[in-house]
Amino acid sequence: MPELRPILVLGPTAGGKSAVAYELARRLGAAEIVGADSMQIYRGMDAGTAKPDPAWRRQVVHHMIDVVEPTERFTVADWLGRAGAIIDGLLERRVVPIVVGGTNLYIQALLEGLFDGPPADPAIRDELERLDGPQLYAGLRDVDPAAADQIHPNDRRRLVRALEVHRTTGTPISAWQQQWRDDAADRPYLRDPRIIGLSWPTEPLNLRINLRVRAMFHPDRVPDEVARAVLPAGESLPDETRRLLDAGRLGDQSRQALGYKQVIEFIEGRMTLDTAFERTKILTRRFAKMQRTWLRRFRSVSWLDAAIEGPDALAGEAELIVRQ
């Protein structure tokens, strides 16, 4: 390879990113994989997060998977701090980082950095810290509804920061962030990565999503090889979710994960299991559509047609691109 640069493998959920990244890492030799998925970071959440096959993880080093407990909150800044250090360390050792996303907000932060905003004001921050969560959230909803839509009501740190920026500058933090994103469009991507995108037409991707969700909920209703691929530990999503709930291992953030949230509603008697299953399929397909829209924003992506080729052939195409 003429120049050592990170590689990003992007694509919608259920699109085969992990398999392509694994095959590409094997072809390149000195390469390791860095996960960019906001739910694969959680230990013990396996049935609903599509983590890479355990056999792949034994053969190729995978970073940023199973790194925190599901009771912990984990932000994009947390991910960027850890993942950025890993990527830079790999480059220093002449090892190619292959970043697999997952969570497009993570990828955007990796490519463009994070918005810092105006400096902190200790007096205003101290005043805001005296307010409880509902007061903070209501206050932000009043002055910056766009930011309130993006921040969880229990995320005190981000609520305080958003209100602090508004009080300090008179401008909503969402407006500052939009200006920063607009300016980022003219800046080169950080670390100058090579970006591989897996492209999928809607219908075949939806079929893959439906099959994966069926395996998650009802492994006995899919072929054995599909069930083993989706559930390496052999535990269904309803069983795993109930076990984690009983152990007190699901926090405010992790229980919002797609599939887990619907199963929790079933366990709590707010919907039937069949409804939870159908809702998860619908919401996952909707999520994939949103991902495809977001992915079109990224620049300089080499798109590969994943609907007509398998992971090994796609990895071969990707290898040719990154070795140019």
Using DSSP, how many helices (H) and how many strands (E) does the chain show?
15, 6
Claim to verify: residue 317 and residue 205 sit in the same structural domain: yes
Give backbone dihedrals phi and psi of 22, rounded to 5 degrees, phi first. Answer: -65, -50
Predicted confidence at residue 117, as pLDDT, reads: 81
Claim to verify: residue 97 and residue 135 sit in the same structural domain: no
| Number of domains present in the structure of the chain | 2
Taking only the tens place, the pLDDT of each residue in 73-132 is: 898 889 999 999 999 999 999 999 999 988 998 999 999 988 878 888 999 999 999 999
* Calpha distance 6→97 (Å, rounded): 5
Taking only the tens place, the pLDDT of each residue in 265-324 is: 999 999 999 999 999 999 999 999 999 998 998 999 999 999 999 999 999 999 999 998
Q: Where are the beta strands (DSSP E) in 57-185?
A: 62-63, 96-101
Confidence of residue 154 (pLDDT cuts 50, 70, 90): confident
Lowest mean pLDDT among 1-5, 23-27, 144-148: 1-5
Domain that holds residue 78: 7-113+190-322
Check whether 1 has a pLDDT greater than 60.
Answer: no
Taking only the tens place, the pLDDT of each residue in 267-281 is: 999 999 999 999 999
* Residue where a domain stops, chosen among 143, 160, 184: 184
- Map tokens 């439906």 to a residue: 210
Predicted confidence at residue 75, as pLDDT, reads: 87
* Calpha distance 308→303 (Å, rounded): 13
Claim to verify: residue 69 and residue 215 sit in the same structural domain: yes
Report which of 77, 86, 81, 102 is spatially closest to residue 6, judged by C-alpha positions.
86
Taking the model in full, what pTM does it have?
0.88
Q: Does some domain include residue 159?
A: yes
Claim to verify: residue 21 and residue 155 sit in the same structural domain: no
Q: Does some domain include residue 1?
A: no
Claim to verify: residue 201 and residue 308 sit in the same structural domain: yes
Tell me what the mean pLDDT of segment 191-206 comes to: 97
